Structure 1
Amino acid sequence: MREGALLCDICKSYLNNDKALRNHMKQHVVRYECKECGIRKRDRNTALNHYQKHHEEIPMTFICEVCGFTTDSYKNYRSHTYSHKDRVPCKICGGTFANQNVLTKHILFTCFECGVKYSEKARLKDHVDWEHLKLRNYVCKLCSKEFETKRCMTRHIMYVHDKIKRPKNKICDLCGTGFSNLRLLESHIRTHTGERPFKCEICDKTFGFKASLYTHNRLIHKKIKRKPYPKKNN
């Protein structure tokens, strides 16, 4: 790498100067693909002219140049591209992180029973106690509900028994729905984009939500049956 070279944030290529970087960035501009003939255009007006001239009323497809994700909605495309910006993906859980150091810490602690990974040793211990040793260390004294972590129990008491309302100040740009935390918002956005980032390592089936992958593994591969709901007394 030459001294003073400039980095492309999208593909991590190095360019010699500002002009070279600007020219290089043109290849990353959103492209529009015609579903009828497959031709690609780099700007909206050129794409529309093509559709009107050759394939009137044929819808356009927006393509992510990083991962190949496609959608008919420009808003969904823009929302999706933010997930790639300056973040490093975890191949295990599908989450993304600010840099490689944060990712390394994220996958530092591994459960030798099932392979799940945690960023904190204490979180791994809670998992082993709950899932494999069947210990119930955190029990709500008000309703006897059991929890895997102390944090989950504390939040339960705050929001269920103390009636503290969580502010829903994380807003979806696509539909305006509010959520109390970023994780819920990110999961919700996938209902718009159709992304399925969580992949089963056994059968390659993909899921939009981590909980769905967890349930799939338990029911399909581990053959753990669902617990029947208790019958209500008449």
Structure 2
Amino acid sequence: MYNLNLIKQEIEAPLEVKIEEHPIEFNATTYNNFSGLITHQRTHLGDMPFKCNQCDKVFKYKKDLVIHLRIHTGEKPFQCNLCDKAFANKPNLVTHHRTHNGDKPFNCDQCGKPFAEKKYLVVHQKSHTREKLFRCTQCDKAFTTKQSLQYHHRLHNGERPFQCTQCYKAFVCKPHLISHQRKHTGEKLFQCNQCNKSFAQKGYLVVHQRSHTREKPFQCTQCDKAFVQKPHLISHHRTHTGDKTFKCNQCDKVFAEKRNLVGHQSSHTREYLV
């Protein structure tokens, strides 16, 4: 026979439940809270709960929506400390900084050419695999993009639509004009990360950095000499071919290199001074 009083006491006694806290595991990724798990699950489910009220674009994460909204507001809170450019997000600022320090972390696995941004590497890599469909009708050159062909055509027809307002020099494309204008403003955006020397153009920085690395990528095919810059190699080639393109306007003496002509012309100046 059951003891009803004992049963009643057992029913009314507080229930002790031992709860052990374990992190939630989901697809080899561990989370210590439910919110983190829910956020992660969106990557699997394709759930995009954050919607832009300006253009109806949707996002998985709130932080991505916040960054996107800056397109509409024009807000650019990440300011470059070397120039006046600003950006909507930090990764773009980090990428931009490479234009100043010459850092090129993305290397082509076909030819070793380095790039500051991955998107430029991707475009370049297509040049190894993609056929050059855009061929110039005036010479034998071909290009992988239509825009490159358009720039090239301007060299033939003399079209230079981008003109400097300071000296009226004109260029085939806008980036060349922007680079040129720094000569007038004295702006030097490209800084060497070895000695902090600055340059107005990126090409000058690249050449300068070879003074630190001792790199001489332009090799003569006739002898074992190598050069830091291509113009120096071209000038050197004339010593093999005998080509002398630089002519003195005082005595008609000719030289293979311009620097030798300049040195020679000073001899005429000294004659006048005597």
TM-score band, normalised by shorter chain: 0.3 to 0.5
Where is the helix percentage greater, Structure 1 or Structure 2? 2
Highest relative contact order (Cα 8 Å, sep 6+), 1 or 2?
1
Higher gyration radius (CA): 2
TM-score, normalization by structure 1: 0.39
